[in-house]
Amino acid sequence: MTVEKITDVEFGEVLPAFTPDTSLENVKIFVTAAGWDSPRFTDHEAAKKQGLPAALVPGIMSQGFLSAMIHHWAPNAEIKMIDTVFRAPCLVDDQYNINGVVTDIDTEKGSVEIDLTVTNSADETRVFGTANILL
């Protein structure tokens, strides 16, 4: 279900989750466009030589996934703020779920607060945060 206006939103509503493309190929496209073409994002072996467990999904890419989830749910939303905490790295080629739940609604201001999480296939929270949007 997509929402168009503040009256469509329910407290505690769970946003439709999705699984983003964190493949090496997709991350390479992203980091090239962002000007961050570094082996820590594009080469598993090079990342391991830097002491990392594998190539990393850039944090701004994870934030982009969170924004995409919000816009899939509320295409006309204006995202005013996304504040995230990175608890553990998101690794390239792993599977992640992007999740959100409505935690506050201010009908007078037209604002909605959403708690956000990025979880891996072991259901471990890798990234969490809060978004504030206007409808």
pLDDT band at 105 (very low <50, low <70, confident <90, very high): very high
Q: Which domains does the chain have, with CATH numbers?
A: 6-134 (3.10.129.10)
What is the mean predicted confidence (pLDDT) over 112-129? Answer: 96
- Enter the pTM of the model: 0.92
**Average per-residue pLDDT in the chain?**
96
Type of residue numbered 107? T
What is the mean predicted confidence (pLDDT) over 89-94? Answer: 96
pLDDT for 110: 96
- The answer to whether residues 117 and 128 touch, using CB atoms and an 8 Å cutoff, is yes
Cα–Cα distance measured from residue 91 to residue 126, given in angstroms and rounded to the nearest whole number: 10
- What are the pLDDT digits (tens) for 15-46? 999 999 999 999 999 999 999 889 999 999 99
Residue 126 clears pLDDT 80, i.e. is over it? yes
Residue 78 clears pLDDT 90, i.e. is over it? yes
- Cβ neighbours for 2, distance < 8 A, ≥ 6 positions apart: 72, 73, 74, 75
Residue that the structure tokens 């990234």 belong to: 127
- The answer to whether residues 69 and 13 touch, using CB atoms and an 8 Å cutoff, is no
